[in-house]
Amino acid sequence: MRLHVALLAACAVGAVSCTAPDAGTNPEDGPGRIRLYLTDAPGAYDQVNIVVRRIEAHRSGNSQGKGWGVLWEGRQTYDLLLLADGNRAMIADTLLGPGTYSQIRLLLDQGSNVVVDGQTHPLTVPSGFQTGVKLIRDFVIQPGALHELTLDFDAGRSIHRAGSKWMMKPVIHAHTDVISGLVEGTVQPASAEAALFLRAGSDTLVSAYADVRTGRFRMSPVTEGVYEMDISSQAGTHRDTTVGPITVIRQQRTVVDTVVLTPQ
């Protein structure tokens, strides 16, 4: 019982990625996860500050849930020039239903500005405050996989002076990548009600529960890397154990040899 409480507490603060203890849960049928990043090419300004209030993705096709969905909502300012030379900021990290998406849009807020020779000028972004800055690009979210999508602004080509006004007509390129893999295996006996924690060093990154009927488990998404797996019996009938190293490769399935727990 103590492990259930500890796991729920970790989920509440976002310390680990959690899978509910549902024996029927199958990552291959569920949502994927998207991490959205913002980066920029160098520009000849002191600062280029954009204020983002909402990020949305458009799901295409005839599937359930098509249309616009919110990836993030709040109010955050980004100086694009700090995101040059390989730097980037993560602007959204959320679950997303599997399927094909055709657009990303950033809805901006008042306060976006450009600083030139120490002087701050408000940025006018046509439709940016109403219908948003739209990026038309197809990408596919796969069930149970972690995707990274990077929006590469080009501030130097995006900003123009029109009389006394400074205008932004964003030039953005994007690329996406599946960076995760899937870990699966079996813990016996199934009656031990195994809880599994995938760990890198002292940090628990992903957790799951084995099926109480078959002992099978799946952990997804798991970022490429090398891990140890801690296994505990929620029924209190078997000893804790650790297996590893477990190597995860992006877009591949890693099968762990069957783990047989030792009775208390």
Q: In terms of domains, do 23 and 150 share one?
A: no
Reduced to 3 states (helix: H, G, I; strand: E, B; else coil), residue 170 is coil
Q: In terms of domains, do 202 and 163 share one?
A: no
Q: In terms of domains, do 145 and 212 share one?
A: no
50 burial via Cβ count (<10 Å: 0-12, 13-18, 19+)? buried
Chain segment 133-188, per-residue pLDDT in tens: 888 878 888 887 888 888 888 787 788 888 889 988 888 877 776 677 788 899 99
Q: In terms of domains, do 158 and 77 share one?
A: yes
Q: Residue 168 and residue 196: Cα distance in Å, rounded?
A: 49
Q: In terms of domains, do 209 and 222 share one?
A: yes
Mean pLDDT of the chain: 80
Q: In terms of domains, do 160 and 174 share one?
A: yes
Residues 6+ apart with CB under 8 A from 117: 46
The answer to which of 169-178, 208-217, 225-234, 244-253 has the lowest mean pLDDT is: 169-178
Domain CATH code at residue 241: 2.60.40.10
Last residue of a domain, one of 125, 159, 178: 178
Tell me the two tokens of residue 167.
Answer: 């205008």
Please say if the pLDDT value at position 230 is more than 80: yes
Specify the number of domains making up the chain: 2
Q: Residue 17 and residue 259: Cα distance in Å, rounded?
A: 22
Confidence of residue 209 (pLDDT cuts 50, 70, 90): confident
Share of the chain above pLDDT 70, in %: 84
Confidence of residue 26 (pLDDT cuts 50, 70, 90): very low
Last residue of a domain, one of 162, 178, 194: 178
Q: In terms of domains, do 58 and 139 share one?
A: yes
Query: When comparing pLDDT for 14 and 96, which is higher?
Result: 96
CA proximity to 231, closest of 261, 263, 201, 200: 261
Q: In terms of domains, do 73 and 170 share one?
A: yes
Chain segment 1-13, per-residue pLDDT in tens: 223 323 322 333 3
CA proximity to 233, closest of 199, 186, 196, 202: 196
Q: Name the residue range of residue 164's domain.
A: 32-178
User: Residue 224's pLDDT is what?
Assistant: 81
123 burial via Cβ count (<10 Å: 0-12, 13-18, 19+)? buried
Share of the chain above pLDDT 90, in %: 27
Confidence of residue 78 (pLDDT cuts 50, 70, 90): very high
Alpha helices in 62-188 (DSSP H): 155-158
For residues 41 and 84, is the Cβ–Cβ distance under 8 A?
A: yes
Q: In terms of domains, do 6 and 68 share one?
A: no
Q: Beta 67-79 vs 47-59: how paired, if at all? A: antiparallel
Query: When comparing pLDDT for 233 and 44, which is higher?
Result: 233
Domain CATH code at residue 163: 2.60.40
Residues 56-70, mean pLDDT to the nearest whole number: 79
Q: In terms of domains, do 151 and 200 share one?
A: no
DSSP count for the chain of H helices, then E strands: 2, 20
What phi and psi values does residue 83 have, to the nearest 5 degrees? Answer: -105, 25
Last residue of a domain, one of 178, 213, 229: 178
Q: In terms of domains, do 94 and 126 share one?
A: yes
Q: Residue 10 and residue 13: Cα distance in Å, rounded?
A: 5
Q: In terms of domains, do 49 and 170 share one?
A: yes
Tell me 261's DSSP state.
P
**C-alpha dihedral sign at 7, 205, 37, 47:** positive
User: Residue 21's pLDDT is what?
Assistant: 27
